[in-house]
């Protein structure tokens, strides 16, 4: 059968607005996907729907479609998106109304079954991560636009591929290949040079990266590429970086299949073309992941600016003053955290570079304790604290924050349904076979490099990295580009050395996963993000730059690699 060309036009809610038009006009496509959902997005949409029951979906998608539905129809491009969020039926109706207003014939279907809030009444949103066979059912019945709620990001690709090639639910190797393609595409320009560790080598190409597409073949293999003439670049490094993003071990589990990341083979197939093949698949695990979002309380912060000399003493003074004020009020917030950020430099040529920041973050179920209690105590110190006292901004009233957690339910606990344009409801059967997920044994490691001269230098001169969040945990994927560097990295960067290099992880469980085919190590740091991104537990709440911090750390590197 013919190659299926699937492109991506959105990696998150807020991505580049004109990407949909660029993808539809820039080259050949069969299917255009858009990924709008993340853990934080579900919380945002849940709060939207509290105010308006008709809300709960990504309105940006509808505005993009107003410009582009005609283009998609002219070019016979199917559109598949999870922009339905918490209200896929509502978005599907809105798309039908838009198509009627524009005079464009479009059959619009949607997927239901992910919403499990009835079983978790204390949650703002509770959604199972569905697979791609609901999407496939919609496309097989002739849908032009398919809207879903919470499906796995890769399902936006596995669904169209299964529909196009006629794959059944037990064709695990083919499905696993499509999952890997979907994982590469899901974050948009991250596959075409965006957020790339070695960006400085190709900086001129990155002012406006194009969005990626996958040429998928019937056996599940694919080529990752982009439209001709668009910015950015696609090479083995950019694809490797995205493959490591927000993953853990070699078994990458989903509702349709568990993809074996340790079987992936990457080869450069020409300029801006990377071939992915050899992916093996296994039966999915017996349960589905369910993401729960709830309101955790209220949060506020203030950043005190400390300038010039005696930074530590100034910080100690204002901290003691604030703690005394809380004690006298007998109403301190339940959670109080302090961070001194030493951005100051000695003998600095500007006031800003002579200044450090002392961040105070408070959380409490009572909105008053993070509002007036904090702002009153901080503002009252304006003329009675350290020399040069000022803050970046006066603390406000405080804002609600969310907490994310995941639980697991059997496949049969959800009613996965494809709802067609004419109202017919097509049930989607749960997985026939399942396999309990277990970590694979550590693969055989290559011989270490022979001893030789070393130089103290940043890890990033040799290794790339990409990091991200999964609930309270973070992952840091680290890879190198030569066999010699791999022989050094796999023996040097143990979990223990990782903890040494990133002191924030020293008291936390750190698991190292080895992926020799990618010359990569993947580290999972449990609990570093507290209650998840919405709780903003740390300075970098989604661990986006954790990998870059690791790359900046110095260690003894063989001179032969430098």
Sign of the torsion angle spanned by Cα atoms 239, 241, 244, 245: negative
pLDDT of 109 > 70? The answer is yes
pLDDT of 415 > 90? The answer is yes
pLDDT of residue 431: 87
pLDDT of 470 > 90? The answer is no
**In this predicted model, what pLDDT tens digit does every residue of 486-517 receive, in sequence order?**
999 999 999 999 999 999 999 999 999 999 99
pLDDT of residue 397: 85
Range list of H helices, 383-481: none
**In this predicted model, what pLDDT tens digit does every residue of 210-226 receive, in sequence order?**
999 999 999 999 999 99
Q: For 298-403, which CATH superfamily applies?
A: ACT domain (3.30.70.260)
pLDDT of 301 > 70? The answer is yes
3-class SS of residue 456:
strand
Report yes or no: 13 and 41 within 8 Å, Cβ to Cβ.
yes
pLDDT of residue 376: 87
pLDDT of residue 101: 97
Confidence of residue 329 (pLDDT cuts 50, 70, 90): confident
Q: How many CB atoms lie within 10 A of CB 530?
A: 18
Confidence of residue 400 (pLDDT cuts 50, 70, 90): confident
pLDDT of 535 > 80? The answer is no
pLDDT of 452 > 90? The answer is yes
**In this predicted model, what pLDDT tens digit does every residue of 334-366 receive, in sequence order?**
999 999 999 999 999 999 999 999 999 999 998
Show me where the domains of the chain are located.
4-291+406-427, 298-403, 454-561
pLDDT of residue 39: 84
pLDDT of 204 > 80? The answer is no
φ/ψ bin of 451: left (φ > 0), alpha (ψ from -120 to 50), beta (otherwise) = beta
Q: What percent of the chain has pLDDT over 90?
A: 84
Half-sphere exposure of 370 (CA within 13 A, CB side): 22
pLDDT of 1 > 90? The answer is no
Most confident range (mean pLDDT) of 36-45, 118-127, 199-208, 233-242 is 233-242
Least-confidence region, from 3-17, 243-257, 372-386: 372-386
| pTM (predicted TM-score) | 0.94
Q: How many CB atoms lie within 10 A of CB 264?
A: 23
Confidence of residue 534 (pLDDT cuts 50, 70, 90): low
DSSP 100-159: HHHT----EEEEE--B-GGG-TT-SEEEE-B-SHHHHHHHHTT-SEEE-SSB-TTHHHHH
């Amino acid at each position: 059968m013919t190659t299926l060309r699937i492109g991506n036009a959105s990696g998150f809610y807020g991505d580049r607005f004109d990407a949909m038009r660029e993808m539809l006009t820039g080259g050949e496509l069969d299917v255009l996907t858009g990924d709008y959902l993340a853990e934080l997005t579900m919380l945002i949409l849940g709060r939207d729907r509290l105010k308006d029951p008709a809300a709960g979906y990504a309105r940006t998608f509808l505005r993009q479609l107003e410009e582009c539905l005609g283009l998609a129809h002219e070019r016979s491009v199917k559109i598949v998106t999870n922009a339905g969020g918490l209200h896929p039926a509502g978005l599907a109706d809105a798309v039908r109304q838009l198509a009627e207003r524009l005079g464009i014939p479009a059959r619009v279907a949607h997927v239901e079954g992910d919403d499990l809030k009835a079983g978790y009444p204390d949650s703002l949103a509770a959604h199972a991560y569905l697979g791609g066979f609901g999407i496939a059912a919609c496309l097989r019945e002739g849908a032009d636009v398919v809207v879903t709620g919470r499906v796995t990001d890769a399902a936006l690709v596995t669904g169209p591929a299964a529909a196009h090639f006629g794959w059944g639910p037990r064709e695990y190797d083919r499905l696993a290949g499509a999952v890997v393609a979907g994982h590469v595409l899901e974050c948009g320009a991250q596959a075409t040079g965006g957020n790339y560790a070695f960006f400085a080598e190709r900086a001129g190409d990155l002012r406006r990266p194009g969005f990626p597409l996958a040429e998928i073949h019937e056996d599940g293999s694919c080529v990752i590429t982009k439209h001709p003439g668009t910015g950015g670049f696609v090479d083995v490094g950019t694809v490797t970086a995205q493959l490591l993003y927000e993953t853990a071990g070699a078994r990458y589990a989903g509702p349709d299949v568990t993809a074996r990341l340790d079987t992936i083979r990457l080869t450069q197939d020409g300029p801006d073309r990377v071939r992915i093949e050899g992916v093996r698949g296994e039966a999915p695990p017996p349960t589905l992941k369910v993401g729960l979002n709830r309101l955790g309380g209220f949060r506020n912060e203030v950043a005190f600016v400390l300038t010039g000399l005696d930074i530590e003493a100034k910080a100690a003074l204002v901290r003691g003053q604030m703690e005394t004020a809380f004690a006298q009020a007998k109403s301190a917030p339940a959670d109080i955290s302090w961070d001194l950020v030493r951005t100051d430099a000695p003998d600095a040529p500007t006031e800003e570079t002579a200044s450090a920041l002392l961040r105070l973050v408070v959380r409490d179920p009572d909105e008053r304790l993070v509002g007036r209690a904090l702002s009153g105590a901080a503002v009252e110190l304006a003329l009675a604290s350290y020399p040069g006292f000022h803050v970046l901004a006066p603390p406000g009233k405080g804002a609600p924050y969310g907490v994310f957690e995941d639980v697991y339910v059997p496949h049969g606990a959800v009613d996965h349904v494809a709802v067609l344009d004419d109202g017919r409801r097509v049930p989607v059967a749960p997985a026939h076979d399942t396999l309990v997920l277990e970590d694979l044994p550590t693969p055989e490691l290559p011989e270490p490099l022979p001893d030789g001269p070393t130089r103290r230098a940043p890890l990033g001169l040799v290794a790339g990295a990409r990091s991200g969040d999964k609930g309270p945990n973070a992952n840091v994927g680290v890879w190198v580009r030569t066999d010699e560097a791999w022989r050094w990295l796999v023996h040097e960067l143990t979990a223990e050395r990782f903890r040494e290099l990133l002191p924030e992880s020293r008291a936390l469980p750190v698991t190292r996963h080895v992926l020799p085919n990618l010359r990569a190590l993947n580290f999972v740091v449990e609990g570093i993000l507290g209650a998840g991104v919405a709780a903003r537990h740390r300075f970098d709440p989604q661990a986006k730059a954790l990998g870059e911090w690791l790359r900046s750390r110095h260690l003894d590197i063989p001179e032969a690699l430098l």
